[in-house]
Amino acid sequence: MSFLRIDRAVKQFGGLRAVDEVSFSLQRGEIVGLLGPNGSGKTTVINLVSGALPVTSGEIWLDGRRLTGLRCDRIARAGVARTFQLVRTLPSLSLMENVMITAVFGRSTHWGEKARRVAEDALATVGLAERASAVAGDLTYIDQKRLELARALAAEPEILLLDEWLAGLNPTELAEGVALIRRLHEGGLTILMVEHIIDAVRALCPRVVVMNSGRLIADEATEAALSDPAVVSAYLGGEVDA
């Protein structure tokens, strides 16, 4: 049985179908890239899985549990955590306070010292342990991204949804980010990642799902998808180097 299953998902905004009968699944422990040009519906799919938006029709299941129609807090309790395209931190709070919040409201309910330990572990994972008392509003862009990832990890998710988490990083930061995601995956975390950086996708994802204009146009091994004429035409806009 699939771990995450999206079955004929539709999201309608007035006359626009941002997600149009999309179906795909992930196995437990898999890392899959979700690709497509801007406006293709990738982030909307992430919003549907995380409960940020309700589906218009279709079904979403996680480990045999129906997520369709649940509030986003109930979906978080079911084991779904995510990052956002635009980083969302609580700038007046410390890094520790930012991360402890999700330790309290994530898959398990932790309080007090246990919540602090979970937050410390998450901050250590992303390389921010020594700055736990710093104010989030003082962070650089890359450290804001690390903080947001730490918050997602403190929820102790079963599946992590990454929405362009690697975007905007310089080459050194990108290499560090790819290594961090690889470690999370090797630790057993299931990951669905929206990403435009093809080298990162190649390095991390054996399989990709590709969307265009709200529809699924490919679901196959990464190298096969990146040579698929429909994908090249819709997303890459030209020939792909081998």
Number of domains in the chain: 1
Share of the chain above pLDDT 70, in %: 97
Q: Averaged over 77-90, what is the pLDDT?
A: 91
- 106: in domain: yes
- 27: in domain: no
Residue 241 confidence (pLDDT)? 41
Give the Cα separation of 176 and 133 in Å (integer).
Answer: 23
Q: Averaged over 81-109, what is the pLDDT?
A: 89
Amino acid type, 98: N
Contact 191, 160 (CB under 8 A): yes
- 107: in domain: yes
> How many Å is the maximal CA-CA distance in the chain?
55
Give the Cα separation of 163 and 236 in Å (integer).
Answer: 19
- Going by pLDDT thresholds of 50, 70 and 90, the confidence category of residue 236 is low
- 24: in domain: no
pLDDT for 104 beyond 80: yes
- 102: in domain: yes
Work out whether strand 190-194 and strand 159-163 pair parallel, antiparallel, or are unpaired. parallel
Q: Averaged over 60-80, what is the pLDDT?
A: 95
Sign (positive/negative) of CA torsion 218, 199, 99, 189? Answer: positive
- 97: in domain: yes
- 196: in domain: no
Q: Averaged over 53-61, what is the pLDDT?
A: 97
pTM for the structure as a whole:
0.92
> Over the chain, what is the mean pLDDT?
92
Give the Cα separation of 93 and 146 in Å (integer).
Answer: 15
- 126: in domain: yes
Q: Averaged over 126-143, what is the pLDDT?
A: 93
- Domain boundaries, position 138: 89-155
